[in-house]
Amino acid sequence: MCGIVGIYSQTPVAAELYDSLIHLQHRGQDAAGMLTSAGKFYVKHGLGYVREIFTPADIARLKGNIGLAHVRYPTAGGHDIEDVQPLWIGSPRGIALAHNGNLVNHAELTHEMTAQKHRHLNSSTDSEVLLHLLAEGLEQAGDAPDDVEAFFAKACQAVRYVMSRARGSFSVVSQLIGKGLLVFRDPHGIRPLVSGARKTADGTDYIFASEDTMFSALGFENMGDVAPGEIVFVNQRGQLFRHILSQQQFAPCIFEHVYFSRPDATLNGVSVYAARLRMGEKLAQHWQRVFPKILPDVVVPAPFTSNTAALAFAQQLGVRYAEGLYKNPFIGRTFIMPEGAARRRNVRYKLTPQKAELVGKRVLILDDSIVRGTTSREIVRLVREAGATEIYFVSACPPVKHPCFYGVDMPSYAELIAANKTIDEIKQFLGVDQLLYQTIEDLVSAVQDTATHPCMACLNGKYIAGVPVNA
- Which pLDDT value is given to residue 266? 96
Same domain assignment for residues 219 and 291: no
* Residue 254 maps to a domain: no
Rounded to 5°, the CA angle 95-194-264 comes to: 135
Same domain assignment for residues 92 and 206: yes
Same domain assignment for residues 315 and 395: yes
* Residue 456 maps to a domain: no
* Residue 466 maps to a domain: no
* Residue 226 maps to a domain: yes
Same domain assignment for residues 96 and 159: yes
Domain boundary among 248, 279, 304: 248
Same domain assignment for residues 178 and 291: no
pTM metric for this prediction: 0.94
What is the mean pLDDT of each successive set of 10 residues along the chain, which is 471 residues long? 95 98 96 96 97 97 98 74 95 94 96 93 94 96 80 96 98 96 98 98 97 98 97 96 95 96 95 97 98 98 96 98 89 54 65 95 98 95 97 98 91 92 98 98 89 90 93 70
CATH code where residue 345 lies:
3.40.50.2020
* Residue 385 maps to a domain: yes
Same domain assignment for residues 322 and 400: yes
- Specify the length of the chain in residues: 471
Same domain assignment for residues 279 and 210: no
Same domain assignment for residues 162 and 45: yes
Same domain assignment for residues 95 and 146: yes
Q: Assess whether 2 carries a catalytic annotation.
A: yes
- Cβ–Cβ contacts within 10 Å for residue 298, how many? 18
- Which pLDDT value is given to residue 342? 53
Same domain assignment for residues 437 and 383: yes
Name which of 237, 219, 262, 467 is nearest 368 in CA terms: 262
CATH code where residue 41 lies:
3.60.20.10
- Which pLDDT value is given to residue 257? 96
The C-alpha atoms of residue 88 and residue 73 are separated, in whole angstroms, by 19
- Which pLDDT value is given to residue 308? 97
Domain count across the chain: 2
* Residue 470 maps to a domain: no
pLDDT in tens, 161-171: 999 999 999 99
* Residue 263 maps to a domain: no
* Residue 220 maps to a domain: yes
Domain that holds residue 374: 271-450
Per annotation, catalytic residue among 2, 156, 253, 455: 2
Same domain assignment for residues 116 and 56: yes
The C-alpha atoms of residue 369 and residue 351 are separated, in whole angstroms, by 17
Same domain assignment for residues 210 and 319: no
